[in-house]
Chains A and B, each alone.
Chain A
Amino acid sequence: MSTTETGNSSTTESAVSGLDYEETQLTLAPPGGSRSELERKRGFSEGVDLSLETKDFLSGSSDEPPKPQVVGWPPVRSFRRNVLKSCTYVKVAVDGTPYLRKVDLEAYAGYQQLLTALEEMFSCFTARTYPNVRRLVDPVNGTEYVPTYEDKDGDWMLIGDVPWKMFVASCKRLRLMKSSEFVDIGCITER
């Protein structure tokens, strides 16, 4: 199965003529997060795009080389694409803040991008990676937050255990839980 030939004519023409697909593509901005970076990684973006399939969310890389995406291929009605997309907005709550935000999970290619977006959305955080768990840290008071989500069964789960697509399909809402609360539950020990 050739991956390199995909969209060759589009890319060649793009290089030859200086055609900038990004300039002409229609885009929707995800709420809050930085725009151009994320949009280029969106599976639905129109234009030649390197969509990163993250199999291992910690390393942020996949085993296969990224597949260039071709405009209008496969021939799925753009109307249908948009409509199916609209089901994946979820609320994001942060312990201690009075307001919630909403993110479109379909806008991200993997856990890495999602957490980056959350960092930017609640701009006080910086990310810190522990061997098994990603945490977000508020540099002002050093409080750590652990990203969790509520799944279809109503259970609160730690982000990152299941493949990304499975997560997107089952996630109903996100919650950045204070690390102290998380440790109390006894499901993690610091290493």
Chain B
Amino acid sequence: MVRGFGGAAAFPDEVWELVFSFLAADADRNAVALVCRGWHRIERRSRRRVFVGNCYAVAPAAAVRRFPEVRAAAIKGKPHFADFNLVPTDWGGGAEAWVEAMAGGWPHLEELRLKRMVVSDDCLELIARSFKNFGVLSLVSCDGFSTAGLAAIAANCRNLRELDLHENEVEDNCLNWISHFPESFTSLVSLNIACLEGDMNTSVLECLISRCPNLKTLRLNHAMPLEKLVSLLQRAPQLVDLGTSKFSADHHPELLSKVESTFAGFKHLKSLSGIWEAGPAYLPAIYSVCESLTSLNLYYATIQSPELLKLVSECKNLQRLWVMDLIEDNGLIAVASSCKLLQELRVFPSDPYGVAPPISLTEHGLVAISAGCLMLHSVLYFCRQMTNAALLTIANNRPNLTCFRLCIIDPHTPDYISQEPLDAGFSAIVESCKDLRRLSLSGLLTDRVFKSIGASANRLEMLSVAFAGDSDVGLHYILSGCKNLRKLEIRDCPFGDKALLDNTSKLETMRSLWMSSCSVTLGACRQLAQKMPRLNVEVIDERRGRPLESWPDDFPIEKLYIYRTVAGPRSDTPPCVWTV
């Protein structure tokens, strides 16, 4: 007999668990948990995946206690601007507290993904020993560990399927850590060691690869010479995702034909990266796989335009392309006509600090892509010039954009034809692209652009602002609009106290706010902290001096990091960080 809406007792718990298991999104499971106590109980006991966007937002013990059956956890630490050295290295984000709590409360944990955290070798050893069925370890932009820690993982995780090390700073003190995988170990599906600096023992690696028939992803570091790479790859023709090592060598016809035949042997390859220092001699060997590629990352391949153009033009099925600005406008025009399935484009600067590099990559390249690639939804583009007209065209061409990150390299650069600010251009982007979730601004911008963003960017979740705006009003527009804003990071803008204090409750609806080199004073931080007990207001100041308590209210804040938390002020702040 059905009692009524929310009558959890009408069905046994297992039925509800099964129903809830169809809810993949955390937001949906969170909503379910709020319906009634019964559903809350059932949901928490059946939740298998947990995502903690800010490691300090909740105490590890509390998370482990609430969801006792978690099998997969993902945790993020430092603010995004740590990637650009704006966050002190000792700021925090240590993984120990989490790993210790998980070791105690989640013995059946299978997957752990950490991003921008400080992970020690002790942590890795604890992970290796604590989880009997551990299968997936992913460390992205982390630091604090060495290859000795990796050896512990290799030696103890008998069922490891995935070891993904992406752009970590890893100390190399255990040269043969790969040999710690026992002879009986055959479960590897994915291995990404591209960020490791040291040489790998090729024969040990070859052995490992030969005995792991399910290996689909292999991303090597740059150290392996091309001849050794080729003999290794011949053991794994089933690869779907390959990151090569160095792709250059002295010209040898024998080696060239070996490389060609190895690549011709890849019948399932979809993703290609690495290709470090690619020379024109060996690059053509890749052509045979181009047609099947859906993802191509040429970031490390410092190839010049003609070869680059030829290569990408062959990749008719490309969905994701990461490339250097060496591709130039001509190359992008070729991509626009060849790669009709392109969804994501990232163009990085080959010479970010140069004054006037002879690179012909301008707004024209991006406009061409926006016109030719109808499925394009994600853009990251570094260039040196832009116009409002180009941005308008892009906005009109691609209203399906979900991520638009434009970095005009010189701050305060106006529309180079009209000399106007780029307000109109970015406004067009937010007004046209209704599903925009991520936006990075650059160039000369006034408060007007923030008015448009606040009013129109209803789905925006993450906004990055630098060297923009005229006054507090700019920040106020953002904080009083942008209904779904989760992360806001600001540097070098004239935003200050008033906008923050007028929008305090907004800050609790967001994950975090970063402000550096703005115009916020300590007094405003004190007021904010007092008014909002569930925010941590962290003042970061690396100048050596008197403690925070003795500073006056009008003291200008260097860096500010505000985040919502149910865990209270953290106990591991370094000397340069004060929780107000």
Interface residues of A (CB under 8 A from B): 1-3, 5-7, 9-10, 13, 17-19, 24, 26, 43-44, 46, 51, 53, 62, 64, 67, 69-81, 83-84, 87, 165, 169
Contact = CB atoms under 8 A, between A and B. Distances in A.
A87 B277 contact: yes
Contacts of B277: 87
B355 interface: yes
Contacts of A72: 81, 84-86, 491
B299 A64 contact: no
A79 B195 contact: yes
B353 A51 contact: yes
Contacts of B81: 72
B551 to A, nearest CB: 12
A189 B214 CA distance: 67
A43 B64 CA distance: 46
Interface of B: 81, 83-86, 89, 141, 167, 169, 195, 222, 276-277, 299-300, 302, 348-349, 351-355, 357, 382, 407, 409-413, 416, 440, 464, 466, 491-492, 517, 542-543, 556, 558
A18 B222 CA distance: 42
Given A2-B412, A75-B407, 10 more contacts: A2-B410, A9-B492, A9-B517, A19-B543, A62-B355, A71-B85, A73-B491, A76-B348, A77-B84, A78-B84
Given A6-B411, A74-B382, A74-B407, A80 B348 contact: yes
Contacts, number: 95
Contacts of B492: 9-10, 70
A26 B84 CA distance: 13
A163 to B, nearest CB: 9
Contacts of B558: 13, 17, 19
Main secondary structure on B side of the interface with A? loop
A1 B558 CA distance: 27
A184 B382 CA distance: 49
Contacts of A83: 222, 300
A79 B410 contact: no
A97 to B, nearest CB: 27
A7 to B, nearest CB: 8
Contacts of B348: 76, 80
Contact of B167 (A5, A18, A19, A79): A79
Given A6-B410, A44-B353, A83-B300, A75 B83 contact: yes
Contacts of B466: 73, 75
A10 B410 CA distance: 15
A75 B169 contact: no
Contact of A78 (B85, B349, B517): B85
B543 A18 contact: yes
B441 to A, nearest CB: 12
Contact of A79 (B169, B409, B413): B169
B85 A17 contact: no
Contacts of A67: 355
B483 to A, nearest CB: 26
Given A5-B411, A70-B411, A79-B141, A46 B543 contact: no
B547 to A, nearest CB: 16
A13 B541 CA distance: 12
A78 B83 contact: yes
Contact of A46 (B85, B276, B352, B407): B85
